[in-house]
Amino acid sequence: GQSLEQPSEVTAVEGAIVQINCTYQTSGFYGLSWYQQHDGGAPTFLSYNGLDGLEETGRFSSFLSRSDSYGYLLLQELQMKDSASYFCALGAQAGTALIFGKGTTLSVSS
């Protein structure tokens, strides 16, 4: 089977940089994705990593190391609106659905 581990909570202040880590265990690997979910809202897609390295999308970046079974989401120039839950999600192989981690609640204070 597959499993993902990520911290349950992270706190930071406006303007800071925060990194949310995700480690995974899987027999096959197709890609690691990141989703954001605000309270009461639906998850929204942030980024995808299929190969090692950094993917940058505006203030958000995501990194993957397949040899370490590890990835992270980096959020820069934090804003209050970034307070949300962040999920890493594993694609074990083509033709299967994503398996989600338990999520990390990010609280941004002023």
Partner 1 sequence: EADIYQTPRYLVIGTGKKITLECSQTMGHDKMYWYQQDPGMELHLIHYSYGVNSTEKGDLSSESTVSRIRTEHFPLTLESARPSHTSQYLCASSEEGPTYGYTFGSGTRLTVV
Residues that bind partner 1 (CB under 8 A): 30-31, 33, 35, 41-46, 48, 50, 85, 87, 91, 94-103, 105
Cβ of residue 48: shortest distance to partner 1, in angstroms?
A: 5
Distance (Å, whole) CA 49 – CA 76: 18
When the beta carbons of 58 and 95 are compared against partner 1, the nearer one is: 95
User: How many Å apart are CA 71 and CA 50, to the nearest integer?
Assistant: 11
Smallest gap, in angstroms, from Cβ of residue 43 to partner 1? 5
Residue closer to partner 1 by CB (options 40, 110) is 40
Contacts of 58 (CB under 8 A, 6+ apart): none
Which helix (H) or strand (E) is 60 found in, with range?
Answer: strand 60-65
